[in-house]
Amino acid sequence: MARRARSARREYLTLAILSAVLITAIVLVRANEDAIKTFIDQKPFWGVFLYIVLNILDAVIAPGATLPLIPVAAHVWGPVLAASVTTIGWTAGSLIAFLIARRWGYPIVKKLTSPDRLKQLKKYIPENLFWSIVVLRLVMPMDVMSYVLGLFTDITWPKYVAATALGLTPSAFVLAYVGKLPNAYDYIMLGVGAAVVGAWVMIVRRRNRRAAA
């Protein structure tokens, strides 16, 4: 029981930290939007480079933290280029997370993401990996999915990269076009809120089922 309580507290704490990071990122980017646009516009190479690096870090350790930057990129580069660069960053980050799991294994991965989520998701690894990855990329946090696939499957690198890029591209384009809308940050905030509530409900239901069992 004590172990389950600690696990529950850890999940709630992780959810609270991610929520705080996302909300803080939205507020900071919104407050400094003009300065960020000016920097990207005046220094296009460094703008693209830093944007890709931040999206790599997003995919490896902080899923969703760069969402507030997508509207800025969409206004400066246009939705097509912004979505393309976002996909490149997310795919590269997912590949790095996959590499970490495949090469260094569980001892390193458990320091970067929740061990409980890794164990839970292991049970849902399907047989048809390629198309399942494509679908799951639309709904699952990138860091966890990359680590799970690297740890518990033997999927080849080319298939993993292709499935990841194919699954991430639609989300990147949707977010880029949403970013062009006048109330883009409000929509992102609503999406973050809905995701947090959904995650909280899932955690509570899982705890209730375990308690009943």
Please give the full DSSP string across 164-210, using - where no structure is assigned: HHHHHHHHHHHHHHHHTSTTHHHHHHHHHHHHHHHHHHHHHHHHHHH
Q: Mind listing the pLDDT tens digit for each residue in 85-100? A: 999 999 999 999 888 8
Tell me the mean pLDDT in the region 64-83. Answer: 88
What does DSSP assign to residue 197? H
For 8-57, how does the pLDDT look when each residue is reduced to its tens digit (9 = 90+)?
A: 566 666 666 666 777 777 777 878 888 888 888 888 899 999 999 988 98
Domain ranges of the chain: 2-212
- pTM comes to 0.77
Give the residue-averaged pLDDT of 201-205: 59
Q: What is the mean pLDDT of the chain?
A: 78
Question: What pLDDT shows up at residue 133?
Answer: 83
Alpha carbons within 13 A on the beta-carbon side of 194: 7
